[in-house]
Amino acid sequence: MIRRRRTLGSGALLRAALAIVSIVMLSRNSAAVELDEPELTESSGLAWSAHSEHHLWTHNDSGGRARLFAFDVRTGKRTAICELSDVVATDWEAMASFVDEQGTSKLIVADCGDNQSRRDHFLIHVFDEPDIDADSRIAAERIVSVRVRHAGGPMDCEAVAVDSQERLLLLVGKSRLPLAVVASVPLSEIRRGGKILTTTPITTLPLSMVTGMDVDRRTGDIWLASYFSLFRFAGSEHVTTLRQQFRQKIEVVRAPKLRQIEAIVCDGRGDVWVTSEGSPAVSEKVKRVQD
């Protein structure tokens, strides 16, 4: 495991990283799908819908309106737009979905981007998943917004995911050096709202420029994305903690040849989807070759 030390140069970090990775080929199961929405110019976060096995949610990066887009991935058709009342999209970078203890599907939007590492805190918004087949607006009183601080100080972050088994929101930092800080916040604390929360560090990964993350609910696999590669940390009955899972050999997956991968999501059927920046936005399904 690479620990954050000022005396460790980038060359040593790279050599350490190469020693703990393996390359995995992907089978390509479908062509890229164009997402039919001209106002989606940089798909920066992804979450799979609990209402349909064929729909995902996404949003634009910073500077846009506080809204989400739902798409049918079979056709690329936009099926819904959801506006969030009284929410400012300062630097939306990621989103996630989960089902709570009462069986209610929830979405999380993370306003966690911080390119200059200057934000004292960032915001997490949680609310019931909207209708995927009709435009809607969520009232402010139905959105829980929580302020969160990184334990080690301000940090850019573009990757969040929900670990449903541990009931944690996971976050991974984005750095030009291979120093990706992994941290967590309990879902129960987020949903209560109120006080400012502080993340709990888990480990530091020898990865740079991490732009997305998701957890496969079927297998427990944790997937990370960077601009041009995907990374898998396999779930296993022999792995009992997140720290152990992240300390396994990293599987480096060759990503689709898209312009710049910004987000990743698992669809619940064993496939992984990614999106890239640009307009029209493109989503592509990839599947790991079975061992």
pLDDT in tens, 111-155: 999 999 999 999 999 999 999 999 999 999 999 999 999 999 999
pLDDT at 4: 35
pLDDT at 16: 47
pLDDT at 287: 67
Q: What does the pLDDT average to over 29-49? A: 88
Q: CB of 177 within 8 A of CB of 195?
A: no
Highest mean pLDDT out of 47-56, 191-200, 237-246, 261-270: 47-56
pLDDT at 31: 65
Average pLDDT, the chain: 88
In the chain, the amino acid numbered 260 is: Q
pLDDT in tens, 71-123: 999 999 999 999 999 999 999 999 999 999 999 999 999 999 999 999 999 99
Is 5's pLDDT higher than 50?
Answer: no
0.85 cut: is pTM over it? yes
Q: What does the pLDDT average to over 259-278? A: 90
Q: What does the pLDDT average to over 58-71? A: 91
Per-residue confidence band for 167, with pLDDT thresholds at 50, 70 and 90: very high
Residues in contact with 272: Cβ distance below 8 Å, sequence separation at least 6, in sequence order: 214, 216, 223, 230, 264, 265, 266, 285, 286, 287, 288
Which residue blocks in the chain are alpha helix, DSSP H?
Answer: 10-18, 187-192, 242-246
Is 20's pLDDT higher than 80?
Answer: no
pLDDT at 183: 98
| Cβ-based neighbour number of residue 244 at 10 Å | 13
Is 210's pLDDT higher than 90?
Answer: yes
pLDDT at 1: 35
Query: Cα angle vertex 169, ends 16, 176, to 5°?
Result: 35
**Of all residues in the chain, what percent carry a pLDDT higher than 90?**
73
Highest mean pLDDT out of 6-15, 40-49, 279-288: 40-49
**Of all residues in the chain, what percent carry a pLDDT higher than 70?**
87
Domains of the chain, CATH where assigned: 23-288 (2.120.10.30)
Q: CB of 271 within 8 A of CB of 283?
A: no
Query: Cα angle vertex 100, ends 195, 91, to 5°?
Result: 50
Is 234's pLDDT higher than 60?
Answer: yes
